[in-house]
Structure 1
Amino acid sequence: MTGAGAGIGHATAEQFVRNGYDVVLISHGRERLNRAASKLSSTHGIRALPIPIDVADAQAFDAAAPRVERALRPIDVRVNVAMATVFAPPMFINRHRTAPFGVPGASAVAIAMAAVARRRGRLR
């Protein structure tokens, strides 16, 4: 689950763990991510694996997907909540920093997870 360190992503992760899912929490903030994983694990008795990755880094997702499979179990659900919200006049927004959280970031996650599913024979 991307964007799981805080906000909507963390709230989404909480809903999954309340239903007994083990979760992989992906976000760029290592400390916040570790705290979130620890809290979810201790509160709900599930496994929460924190993986600090920038969603714009497709190679990091490729490297992380097999690690997730080894550490937990096959991936059943993929949730992409990572986003960047900018409150500023358009002339002050750095599109090179915010754009990767949209389509490119979601695509990197989908491609990495599809490769895992294909290796498991669940995607042709």
Structure 2
Amino acid sequence: MAKIALITGATAGIGEACAELFARENYNLILTGRRADRLEKLAAKLNKKYDTEVAVCAFDVRDREAVTTNFENLPAKWKKVDVLINNAGLSQGLDPIQKGDIDDWDTMIDTNIKGLLYVSRVVSNWMIKNGKGHIVNLGSIAGKEVYPNGNVYCATKHAVDALSKGMRIDLVQHGIKVTAIHPGAVETEFSEVRFHGDKERAKKVYDGFEPLVAEDIADTIFFVVSRPKHVNINELLIMPAAQATASNIVRK
């Protein structure tokens, strides 16, 4: 019987790369995201290419009722999730604290922290019932240090770091593994979302050096979840070769 991976934020970037890789490795998939059209298109592609079964759940992780309803309405066979990848997350704005947009703050807090919690609350209980599972939380270098104007985004990713450690402690007795993955600069839609669709400004973030790409993180996540049963990788910090810290990047 094929294993099942549930991936949030699967419509682009790291989530989409994970869907492709896990499908290739014979996982069946539950894919979530806000953009139903992208999810359906991705599901059809993966089914055709890898003959993988895909369940699609289109909702915003900020909506607690939508999270619960969509997941609990899945057929019983889909609730035997082996791997949960909490990938849904974003950054909004890059302003000093005194000039921050409160709507941006709410979006980041509700997505990066509360959304992760809503999903994990449901799926961790499935895993406890099944007696196994592995939760992978997407953190960030921003969860390990703070950089200028990163204030609230950094705070949310510090929360993900703390929640990952808390989950590890709470779930170890149930045979459930927990891993936090903390990437540095990854060229996805991340900066475009942060700058509210300003593609030119987003592109400049990656000028002069080779950033990570989504597939680098997907490869790492699959490595983590494919370790032997007795091995748990608690966390990994992954940076481009040109990036030493959040704000120390060698550009040419």
Alignment TM-score > 0.5, same fold: yes
Aligned 8 A contact 2:80 2:130 in 1: no
Q: 2:122 aligns with which of 94, 112, 119?
A: 112
> What is the rounded CA distance, in whole Å, between the counterparts of 2:49 and 2:130 in structure 1?
34
SS of the equivalent of 2:41 reads helix
Alpha-carbon distance in structure 2 between the residues aligned to 1:66 and 1:19: 26
Distance in structure 2 (CA, Å) of the matches to 1:38 and 1:87: 34
Distance in 1 separating the partners of 2:130 and 2:94: 46
Among the aligned pairs, what percent are the same residue? 24
Runs of 4+ in 1 over 6 A off after TM superposition: none
Structure 1 CA distance for aligned equivalents of residues 130 and 76 of structure 2: 16
Give the greater-gyration-radius structure (CA). Answer: 2
State whether structure 2 residue 111 is matched by structure 1 residue 101.
yes
Output the CA distance in 1 between the equivalents of 2:120 and 2:79: 18
Compare 68-77 and 107-116 and name the one that shifted more: 68-77
More strand per residue: 2
List runs of 5+ in structure 2 lacking aligned partners.
Answer: 1-6, 132-173, 176-252
Q: 2:35, 2:25 → 1: CA distance? A: 25
Write the mapping of 1:1-124 to structure 2, written as runs, cut at 5 A. 1-70=7-76, 72=78, 74-90=80-96, 91=99, 93=101, 94-118=104-128, 120=129, 122=131, 123=174
| TM-score normalized with structure 1 length | 0.84
Unaligned runs of 5+ in 1: none
Q: TM-score, normalised by structure 2?
A: 0.44
Matched residue count: 123
**Alignment RMSD:** 2.2
Bigger helix fraction: 1
Task: State the SS of the aligned residue for 1:24.
Answer: strand
> In the aligned structure 2, how far is the partner of 1:121 from the partner of 1:13?
23
Q: Which amino acid aligns with 1:83?
A: G
Task: Report the alpha carbon displacement of residue 4 of structure 1 after superposing the two structures with TM.
Answer: 0.3
